[in-house]
Amino acid sequence: MAKKLWEKNNCVNIEIERFTVGKDRELDLLLARYDILGSLAHSTMLQSIGMLTAEEMENLHRELRNIYSTVEAGEFIIEEGIEDVHSQVELMLTERLGNTGKKIHSGRSRNDQVLVDLKLFTRHELQEICTAVKELFDSLIEQSNRHKEILMPGYTHLQVAMPSSFGLWFGAYAESLADDMLFLQAAYKMCNRNPLGSAAGYGSSFPLNRTMTTELLGFDSMNYNVVYAQMGRGKCERNVAFALASVAGTLSKLAFDACMFNSQNFGFVKLPVECTTGSSIMPHKKNPDVFELLRAKCNRIQALPTDIMMIMNNLPSGYFRDLQIIKEVFLPAFEGIKECLAMANYIIKRINVKTDILDDSRYDAMFSVEEVNRLATEGMPFRDAYKKVGLDIEAGTFTPDKNVRHTHEGSIGNLCNEQIAALMHKIYDDMNFAKANDAINKLLGR
């Protein structure tokens, strides 16, 4: 069995090892490319302060990029008996470069290694999620504009209330995603700060150049205080989880609406046939399983911040192994939300809208407010108009005027989709993903 980086003469009990390593080897495969990027930046900095020669740095960079290629090819593994990704990369470098490989850990700890790995991983995943959110947003805006003239019932208390439109319905979820993007932006900016150089949480006696590694990795700034850099583990994941939960909340509500509106009792929309499933005994059934699963998956993601808080809430400053467990709930969440966004976008692009919903007389009463407002505009006091229309409805003499004339900002006749789109695009553009991407490509020599 391979020795651990921290072992001296005694070997750890095998059951203790199994318990303490947990799922690290499996989950750390997700962090491998980012561990290599951190090592590329760190070794460049070590050379600049005289801890490595130029030749040693070039050899390290060559081998690190070779290992990165194996990660990209899906061939990187963490060998049996190796504790984590950091140990595996250092072992590979030492096997290939001898003592030069042993020098790369100077001035850092596995604590700040995993911190920078998680920051880089999260930054990359947030970029992909933001792009997926924007793609769904664009589909919703497109559908809102396409169906802006098609009316549908609006509900309060699940009772038919007032006229709405598909322009409003699609557009509402688009604007909700714009607000969610603000959470994602805050999460991105929080994780886009460099903890490398904080070592075990108390800095190093080596004259590290943390500004250099910050620039090399494309971070906006560093986590300046080394104690806070370590305290930020768990906090960063929790706040990112809140951003993911905000997106999940929008998707879950959209899924519920779509399932309800697709049912025969509503019949407002028809889902793409390839997005429904059948029954084993009822030949007529077309079940909205995709949206039902999406709803459940998103509800589980909304519980993620609580999961993380329950692990980290009562921890004082400094590192504790409890934080390892956060990885088990945090890392897989990104793939889950990306799948949900992709499914939602696929269906929204292909959903069919019923255009003659309001021909059904059951919806006539929802035009009552339009009539009250018309009478008030003509001079009748609002309360008198309200009473008159209410009595007409009870007497069965109310005749609706279905020509809706809403003009104010954000209403049926003035959706403000251009303004909502401008808001979304500004939030998205302000994250400046190109800065981080350019820095990473430069590190990799691309």
For position 419, which CATH number holds? 1.20.200.10
- Measured CA to CA, the distance from residue 49 to residue 53 in angstroms comes to 10
Joined tokens for residue 278: 């059948």
What is the value of pTM for the model shown? 0.92
Band (pLDDT 50/70/90 cuts) for residue 173 is very high
72-95 per-position pLDDT tens digit: 999 999 998 888 999 999 999 999
Residue 324 shares a structural domain with residue 198: yes
Nearest to 323 by CA among 8, 14, 27, 77: 27
Q: Name which of 118, 27, 97, 441 is nearest 89 in CA terms.
A: 97
Q: Do both 119 and 267 map to the same domain?
A: yes
Same domain, 264 and 323: yes
Sign of the dihedral defined by the CA atoms of residues 326, 328, 331, 333, in that order:
negative
Q: How many domains does the chain have?
A: 3
Whether 115 and 257 share a structural domain: yes
d(CA 394, CA 391): 5
Output the six-digit token pair for 236. 């960063």
pLDDT tens-digit map of 379-413: 999 999 999 999 999 999 999 999 998 999 999 99
- Name every residue whose Cβ is closer than 8 Å to that of residue 39 and which is 6 or more positions away in sequence: 60, 64, 89, 104
Q: What is the CA radius of gyration of the chain?
A: 28
What mean pLDDT is reported for the chain?
A: 93
Which residues are registered as beta bridge partners of 164? 152
Q: How far apart are alpha carbons 432 and 425 in whole angstroms?
A: 12
Residue 3 lies in a domain: no
258 touches 271 (CB < 8 A): yes
**Domain containing residue 391:** 361-395
In a domain, 180, yes or no: yes
**CA dist., res. 165 & res. 6, Å (int):** 64
Residue 170's nearest CA partner among 197, 195, 142 is 142
Q: Which of 22, 81, 92 is nearest to 59 (CA)?
A: 92
pLDDT at 8 over 60: no
The residue type found at 73 is: A
Q: What pLDDT is stored for residue 20 in this prediction?
A: 65
In a domain, 49, yes or no: yes
User: Tell me, what's the pLDDT at 6?
Assistant: 43
80 and 122, same domain (yes or no) = no
What are 304's two structure tokens? 């993620």
- Length of the chain, in residues: 446
**CATH number reported for the structural domain that contains residue 19 in this entry:** 1.10.275.10
Give the distance from CA 7 to its chain's centroid: 38
Q: Are residues 248 and 368 in the same domain?
A: no
Tokens of 174: 């688009």
Q: Where are the beta strands (DSSP E) in 181-329?
A: 193-194, 221-222, 269-270
Q: If residue 163 lies in a helix (H) or strand (E), which one and from where to where? A: strand 159-165
**Residue 290 maps to a domain:** yes
Q: Do 303 and 166 have their domain in common?
A: yes
Residue 24 sits in the same domain as residue 144 = no
User: How many Cα atoms occupy the beta-carbon half-sphere of 248 within 13 Å?
Assistant: 26
Residue 114, burial from CB neighbour count under 10 angstroms (0-12, 13-18, 19+): buried
| Residue 400 covered by a domain | no
Instruction: Evaluate whether residue 384 is within a structural domain.
Output: yes
Same domain, residue pair 303 and 388: no
- Least confident segment among 7-21, 139-153, 210-224: 7-21
pLDDT of residue 1: 43
* pLDDT interval class at 10 (50, 70, 90): low
Residue 5: inside a domain, yes or no?
no
Short-list 360, 361, 363, 369, CA closest to 390: 369
C-alpha span between 427 and 421 (Å, rounded) = 10
Residue 163's beta-bridge partner residues?
153
pLDDT at 344 over 50: yes
Same domain, 119 and 256: yes
Interval 258-302: pLDDT, tens = 999 999 999 999 998 888 888 788 888 888 899 999 999 999 999
CA distance linking residue 275 with residue 259, whole number of Å: 12
Residue 9: pLDDT over 90: no
| Shared domain check, 185 and 93 | no
How many whole angstroms separate alpha carbon 68 and alpha carbon 89?
Answer: 10
pLDDT of residue 287: 86
Is there a domain that residue 439 lies in?
no
pLDDT tens, position by position, 27-52: 899 999 999 999 999 999 999 999 99
Q: Distance between CA 291 and CA 343 in Å, rounded?
A: 8
Q: Reply yes or no on whether the pLDDT at 443 is more than 80.
A: yes
Bridge partners, residue 194, by sequence: 222
Report the pLDDT value the prediction gives residue 297, as an integer from 0 to 100: 96
Instruction: Find how far residue 411's CA is from the centre of its chain.
Output: 30
Residues 311 and 420 in one domain: yes
